[in-house]
Structure 1
Amino acid sequence: MAAHLSGPAWVMALEQTGARGRRGRAWSMPAGNFAATLVQQPTAPAGEMALYSFVAALALHDALGAAGGPSARLALKWPNDVLLNGGKVAGILLESSGRGQEVSALAIGIGVNLAAAPPPEPDASFAPVSLRGETGMSVTPEEFLDLLAPAFAAWEIRFQAEGFAPIRDAFLARAARLGETIVARTGTAELTGRFDGIDASGALILTTASGRQAVPAAEVFF
C-alpha cells in the first residue's frame, strides 16, 4: 500500500493468518489482540531508520501504561520488546523498501497481547503475557490505537526536533536490567556482560570480561 499513500497511515488488522516476528519467526495473534503497522515515507537517512524502533517502544510504554493502570509494571527490553510484569506483552518489527541506501517506505509493525497470550515458544527468552491477564483491563484494538497513535506522534516529533539522544535517555530510563548481567546471542556468538546502555546507533553496550563491546543486533536473555 505504501506507494499509494499520500502520507503516514496506520493500518490495523483484526485477524492475522500469516504474521511474522523477528528473523522470520511465526507471530501468533489470538482474537482481540492488537496488530497494526504505521507506514511512512521517511525523510531521515537510511542509517537512522532502525532508531524508529526506540520511538515505537516509548510510545508502546506510554499507551500500555495508560491502558493498564497502576498494576502494569512495564519495562523496555532492548531492542524491540515490551515487558509487562516480567513477561512479553508486545513486539516491534521494522521493515523497509527502496533501492540501495534510499528508503522509499518504512513499515513499523506492532503486535500487542491485549486480550490473550499465545502459547510460549520453546526458544523464547520470555513467556508471553496479556494486558487483560496481568491487569484485568479489557481494551479493544481500536481503543488501543487511539492511545498508541498520539503517543507515537509525540515521541516522533521529539526525535525529529532533538535527535536520538533524548529518545535514548528515555528508553534507558525504562530499560529492563540496565547495569545488570545479561546474555546477548548473535547469529554466531554468545556474549555475557553488564548492560551499560546503548550507543548513538542504537547498539547494545555490553561490558564483558574482554572489554566493552557494541552489539548492533542480538537476542537478549536475562
Structure 2
Amino acid sequence: MISLSSPVRTRAQDWHAGAKLAALALATTALFLLPGLWVQIVALAVVLGLYALPGRDFLIHGLRHLRILWPFAVLLLVWHAWIGELALGAHIALRIVNVVALANLVTMTTTLSALSDVVHRLFSPLRRLGLPVGILEAAIPLVIRFVPTLIGKARALMQAWRARSHRRANWNIVLPLALLALDDADHLAEALRARGGISPQGED
C-alpha cells in the first residue's frame, strides 16, 4: 500500500490536521452553497494557485492524482451539452474538480497517522455511548491508502492490455481488477487477524 502524501515538503505539512479538515469542510460547503459558474472558475484558479505555491514538483504530483477526474468531467459536459444545459454541466464539473482537488491537497500535506488521530478524536463521543466506532476508524485510513493502489493497478492492467491488443481495454480489465482488489483484501484480512483483529470500540 502507498500513501497519498506528497514527497515534496511544504509548510502546510506542519499545520494541524484538524484545522485543515475543518477548512476543507467549510470550503466544500461554500462551493455547494454559492451559486454561479464564475464562483467555480475563481475557486479553480485559487486551487491551482495553492497547488503551484510549493513549486513545480508539487504541482505536477498533485495534478497527476487528479487525472482520474477528467473522464467524469468530460462525460458530464458531453451529457449536459446534449440536453442543452452546457453551463449547468460546466458548473457541476468544476464543482466536483474543486472539491476533490481540495481534498487531495489536504491528503497530500497530511500524514495518514495525523488524519487517523483526528478521526479518533471525532468519534470519542460515540465511543463513550458504546457504539462500535473502531471499525470505521480502521476503514477510513484503509480506503485512503488503497485507492491510489487500485488506480495504479488499473493503469498497469491497461498498459498490459495495450501491449497485447490494438483495441481499447474498456470493460475488459474490470474482472481482473476486481480479482486483484479481492486478493488485496484477503491479504489485509490475514494481516489484521495476525495482529489481533480490530477492536469494535477502538483504542482509547
TM-score, reference length from structure 2: 0.30
Task: Return the structure number with greater relative CO, CA threshold 8 A, min gap 6.
Answer: 2
Q: Structure 1 or 2: larger helix share?
A: 2
Q: Report the structure, 1 or 2, having the larger strand content.
A: 1
State which structure, 1 or 2, has the greater radius of gyration over its C-alpha atoms: 2
